[in-house]
Amino acid sequence: MSQPLLSVRDLDVEIETDTGPALAVAGVGFDLHPGEMLALVGESGCGKSMTALALMQLLPRPPARVTRGTIRIEGVDALALDARGLEDLRGRRIGMIFQEPMTSLNPVLTIERQMTEGLVRHFGLSAREARARAEAALADVRIVDPADVMRRHPHQLSGGMRQRVMIAAAIALEPAVLIADEPTTALDVTVQAQVLDLLAGLRDRGSAVLMITHDLGVVAETADRVAVMYAGRIVETADVAVVLGNPAHPYAQGLLASHLTPRAEPRAPGSFPPPLPVIPGTVPPLGRRPGGCAFRDRCPRAIPRCAEAPPLVEVGPGHAAACWRPFHG
C-alpha cells in the first residue's frame, strides 16, 4: 500500500471551559491514502469540525489547543511548522471547504482576490493565468457568470453561491489532502450531485478527501471508508459497506436506523404510523461528559463495565469498534 498523504495519531484537542479544561477531541487517529475518501460522521457536537480545524492548524487559540498527538501531511510534521511553513502547507498540500462560508470568506475582499491569491502563491501564475483558472473552477461548480461573481464581495452573493465559491477555491488548488466540512449544505440536490462529482474527480486524480457529513446517503454514494465519531472519539471505523451494512457499535446502529427512509405501509383508518427511530438524549456537552464510554447513558445495551472506557479494537477484518458489547447481525 502507498504511504498515507495524511497520518493522524493520538490527537487530543483541549478547550478551556467555565469549569476548566475539557477534551473536545480525544485520541483520534487514522490514515488517508492517495485516491481515498474517508467519511467522518456523527451528530453535531461530536468533534468532527474541531478535528478538521486541528488538522489545518486553525484552532481558535485561546480557548482551543492541541495537547497531544501527531499530524503528518505528505510526511511533514504539521505541528512543528512555523507561520511560513503553514503558509506553504495550507491550500496546496492540505485544503479545506469550510462549513460556514460567510465567516470564512473575507468580507472586504472581492471573490477574485480571494480565489487568485493562493493560485499565484502556490503555482507562480500570473494574475491573468490565475484569473482564468479561478473562473474555470467557478464554472465547474455551475456558476453561470464566473466573471461577474469574481467582481463581487461575499455579502453580494447568496448562501448557496458563497458555498460554491468556497468549493471552487479549494478545488482549484488541487490539494494533496482536501477536508470537506458539510460541503453540500445550502445547495440544491442538482448542484449537490455536481459538487460530489467534483470531489470524486479530485480523489480519482490521486488526492485524499476527508468528508465531514451527517448525511449517510452522501456517505454511501461517495466514501470508501467511514469513521463514526461520538463525544470527541472515533467509536467505529471500517469500509463503507461494512459500517452501513453491519455496524458494530450501538451508536453507529442508531445513526443508521434514524437515517432509514420510512416506507408507506397500509394501515387501518384512524391509526397512526409507527414512530420514527431516534437515539434518545443528546451528545453530552464539554465538561460534562461521563467517564468510561460517553455513549452509555443513551445506549440500550449498556452494562456496568461501560463505566470503563472501551478501546478501539478489531471486531472483524478491517473493522474496529470501541464497545464492550459490539453487535453483528
pLDDT of residue 217: 87
Q: Is residue 312 part of a domain?
A: no
In degrees and rounded to multiples of 5, residue 151 shows phi and psi of -80, -10
Handedness of CA 299, 305, 309, 313 (dihedral sign): negative
The structural domain count of the chain equals 1
Neighbour tally for 83: CB within 10 Å: 7
In this structure, which amino acid lies at residue 2?
A: S
Q: Is residue 314 part of a domain?
A: no
Q: Is residue 166 part of a domain?
A: yes
Domain of 179, CATH number, reads 3.40.50.300
Of 11, 12, 24, nearest to 287 by C-alpha is: 24
Q: Is residue 233 part of a domain?
A: no
8-state DSSP, 313: E
Q: Is residue 306 part of a domain?
A: no
Of 187, 246, 218, 173, nearest to 40 by C-alpha is: 218
Q: Is residue 87 part of a domain?
A: yes
pLDDT of residue 329: 46
pLDDT of residue 273: 66
Residues of the chain with pLDDT under 50: 329
What range does the domain containing 214 cover? 6-223
pLDDT of residue 7: 98
Q: Is residue 109 part of a domain?
A: yes
pTM for this entry = 0.91
- What's the pLDDT tens digit per position in 1-24? 679 999 999 999 999 988 889 999
Q: Which residue blocks in the chain are alpha helix, DSSP H?
A: 48-55, 83-89, 101-104, 111-123, 127-140, 146-151, 159-172, 189-204, 216-222, 240-245, 250-259
Q: Is residue 263 part of a domain?
A: no
Nearest-10 Cα torsion for 282, 287, 291, 297: -20
pLDDT of residue 130: 97
